[in-house]
Amino acid sequence: MGLVAFLDTKLFKSLKDLLIRPGSLSLAYVQGKKGLYTKPVSLFFIANLIYFLFQPVDTINSNYVTQTEYQAYSSWTKKMAERKMAINEIELEDLRAEYNAKSTSNSRLFLILMVVLFSIFVALVFL
* pLDDT at residue 30 in the model: 82
* pLDDT at residue 82 in the model: 94
**In Å, how far from its chain's centre is CA 100?**
17
Q: Do the Cβ atoms of 76 and 68 come closer than 8 Å?
A: no
- 22 burial class (0-12, 13-18, 19+ CB within 10 angstroms)? exposed
Q: State pTM to two decimals.
A: 0.46
Over the stretch 24-48, which tens digit does the pLDDT of each residue have?
Answer: 888 888 888 878 888 887 888 887 7
Is the pLDDT at 76 greater than 70? The verdict is: yes
E strand map for the chain: none
Enumerate the domain spans of the chain: 57-127
Percent of the chain with pLDDT over 70: 83
